[in-house]
Amino acid sequence: MMTQVPDTPQALYRALPSMDSLLADAALAPLLQRYGKAAVKAALDSQLRTARELIAQERRLPAWCANPALLNGYLVDQLSKDYSHSLKPVWNLTGTILHTNLGRAQQSEAAIRAVTSVMRYPTPLEFELAAGERGHRDNAISGLIQRLTGAEACCVVNNNAAAVLLMLSAVAAGKEVIVSRGELVEIGGAFRIPDIMRQAGCTLVEVGSTNRTHLKDYEQAITENTAAIMKVHTSNYHISGFTAAVEEARLGQLCRERGISLISDLGSGSLTDLRRFGLKQEPTPQAMLADGVDLVSFSGDKLLGGPQSGLIVGKQALINKLQSHPLKRALRCDKLILAALEATLIHYLNPETLDRELPIMAKFARSQAELRQIGERLQRALAPLFAPSYGIELVECQTQVGSGSQPDTFLPSIALCFNAQEGGSLTLLEQHFKQAQRPVIGRMAQDQLRLDLRGIDDEAELLAELSTLGVQL
């Protein structure tokens, strides 16, 4: 390192320390031990390139040439960013519980333990311990689904879109599938039922109108080339007014009479009655099966509260066709997903503890009074830390379920709201929150930065996070 500044470009270039001398500096030993020589060398090379550009443009050396401690700081910042995890925990206080962009359903502690265990040790993923022979990776899930829904069998894939694709490909490739025009839905990412039918090799036959479809519409559309009637639950939108739809029980009878299959895409299907939380009751797989539906598909990571997955439940003979289809191997779940899904389904075996053990149910179950008490404690503790630039108040708000579920139903909630006062900027405050150790994600509404408290995980941890942010302002 040099102490005198030369005055010509050539001298400035010569004054830059060599890579070897920098790597030999004892101050960099901790970084070399933690990140390795290749990573530290790459970071140093970046600093040297920047230094040469500075000499070319401004004819001066970077400040770290005179103060080696600065270089060490630059390297620490750069290497820590390079090695940081992108999928780090955040606080979802947006007012959308199942936020697609924030990972949808949080997993239960039992699911987390199950995933950790199968990551750490070998596990009988496709091995039957009792028989001492090869087994099927879906067997454990299938057994639980039989107990919970009455289905004969279950097939598990990586999401519900994959479930629909596999279901159609195995049951109706090269054949016709009848769907009501009012059920030709589009979900996120411009994923549409007609598109997936083409991909599965099916011919879509539309019947009825957008708002009204009758049994006779289905009856008249059945031909010798019809493989199935498909019902699609419109979970992400709602049509009201002058409407009509055919119940699954009547369609099931029609399909049995005509010798075709009845299949259903429930989307974000639920295994429990949601009316106890003030939400609308979603159609359940068990109800669909009881009404005569042959195959039902639904998501594992939405209202079920588990990991991203798609479940297809129904008749054993049809499930066998799905399991033997070439697409199944491409769409199957790994041991981590299966472990988390199994642990999640086990919660449903005990309805008395479900609302405590499963995070999504615990958030649904919180009362307005409890949320207000949490808000009052946070407001008292945080107001002095954010003053005078920001004021804090509590406002009643509404929480939505999210991920295409219950689009027109909301739960009452309480928001901790930050108002900009003299010298304060909500835009800067929002950025400040997102740069926290565990980023705090709220929403802007009515000139306020709102943190919906129904999404809170641990009050003490959130208080500590926000307190640190307040002190840093």
CATH of the domain at 443: 3.90.1150.110
H helix or E strand, kind and range, residue 91: strand 91-92
The candidate with the shortest Cα–Cα distance to 385, out of 454, 464, 440, 455, is 464
Per-residue pLDDT at 2 exceeds 70: no
If DSSP codes are grouped into helix, strand and coil, which group holds residue 366?
coil
- As a whole number, mean pLDDT of residues 352-380 equals 97
Q: Do 385 and 348 have their domain in common? A: no
Chain mean pLDDT for the chain? 93
The CATH number covering residue 119 comes to 3.40.640.10
Per-residue pLDDT at 205 exceeds 70: yes
- As a whole number, mean pLDDT of residues 7-35 equals 92
Q: Do 433 and 327 have their domain in common? A: no
Pick 373 or 81 by higher pLDDT.
373
DSSP 372-427: HHHHHHHHHHHHHHHTTTEEEEEEEEEEEEETTEEEEEEEEEEEEEEEE-TT--HH
* Residue 362 in tokens: 């615990």
Q: 368-376: long-range contacts at Cβ-Cβ below 8 A with a sequence spacing of 24 or more?
A: 368/396, 368/412, 368/413, 368/414, 371/413, 371/414, 371/453, 371/454, 372/414, 374/414, 374/453, 374/456, 374/459, 375/414, 375/415, 375/416, 375/453
Q: Do 326 and 434 have their domain in common? A: no
Q: Do 304 and 425 have their domain in common? A: no
Segment 73-103, tens digit of pLDDT: 999 999 998 898 889 999 999 999 999 999 9
Q: Do 319 and 404 have their domain in common? A: no
Segment 121-152, tens digit of pLDDT: 999 999 999 999 999 999 999 999 999 999 99
Q: Do 296 and 265 have their domain in common? A: yes
Per-residue pLDDT at 334 exceeds 50: yes
Strands, E assignment, 148-221: 153-157, 176-180, 186-187, 191-192, 203-207
Cα–Cα distance, 20 to 285 (Å, whole number): 66
Q: What pLDDT is attached to residue 155?
A: 98
CA-atom Rg of the chain in angstroms? 29
Q: Is residue 444 part of a domain?
A: yes
Q: Do 224 and 352 have their domain in common? A: yes
- As a whole number, mean pLDDT of residues 364-368 equals 96
CA angle 225, 228, 234 (to 5 degrees): 135
Q: Do 208 and 272 have their domain in common? A: yes
Per-residue pLDDT at 8 exceeds 90: no
Q: Do 256 and 333 have their domain in common? A: yes
Q: Is residue 172 part of a domain?
A: yes
Q: Do 23 and 140 have their domain in common? A: no
Cα–Cα distance, 130 to 132 (Å, whole number): 6
Segment 228-276, tens digit of pLDDT: 999 998 766 667 778 889 999 999 999 999 999 999 999 888 999 999 9
Cα–Cα distance, 384 to 203 (Å, whole number): 65
Q: What pLDDT is attached to residue 236?
A: 62
Q: Is residue 3 part of a domain?
A: no
Q: What pLDDT is attached to residue 394?
A: 98
Alpha carbon 214 to its chain's center:
37
Phi, psi of 406, rounded to the nearest 5 degrees: 50, 60
Q: Is residue 1 part of a domain?
A: no
CA angle 105, 353, 104 (to 5 degrees): 5
Q: Is residue 117 part of a domain?
A: yes
Confidence band of 469 (pLDDT split at 50, 70, 90): very high
Neighbours of 313 (CB within 10 A): 30
Q: Is residue 435 part of a domain?
A: yes
Strands, E assignment, 208-260: 226-232
Containing domain of residue 140, as a range? 109-357
Q: 64-67: long-range contacts at Cβ-Cβ below 8 A with a sequence spacing of 24 or more?
A: 65/1, 65/2, 65/15, 65/16, 65/17, 66/1, 66/2, 66/3, 66/5
Q: Is residue 270 part of a domain?
A: yes
Pick 316 or 85 by higher pLDDT.
316
Q: Do 353 and 369 have their domain in common? A: no
Residue 113 and residue 343 in contact, taking contact as beta carbons nearer than 8 Å: yes
H helix or E strand, kind and range, residue 445: strand 443-445
pLDDT > 90 in the chain, percent:
85
Q: Is residue 231 part of a domain?
A: yes
Q: What pLDDT is attached to residue 1?
A: 45
Count of domains forming the chain:
3
pLDDT > 70 in the chain, percent:
97
Per-residue pLDDT at 457 exceeds 90: yes
Q: What pLDDT is attached to residue 240?
A: 73
With DSSP H G I counted as helix, E B as strand and the rest as coil, what are the percentages for the chain, rounded to 5? 50, 20, 35
Q: Do 170 and 285 have their domain in common? A: yes
Q: Please say which residue of 357, 379, 412 terminates a domain.
A: 357
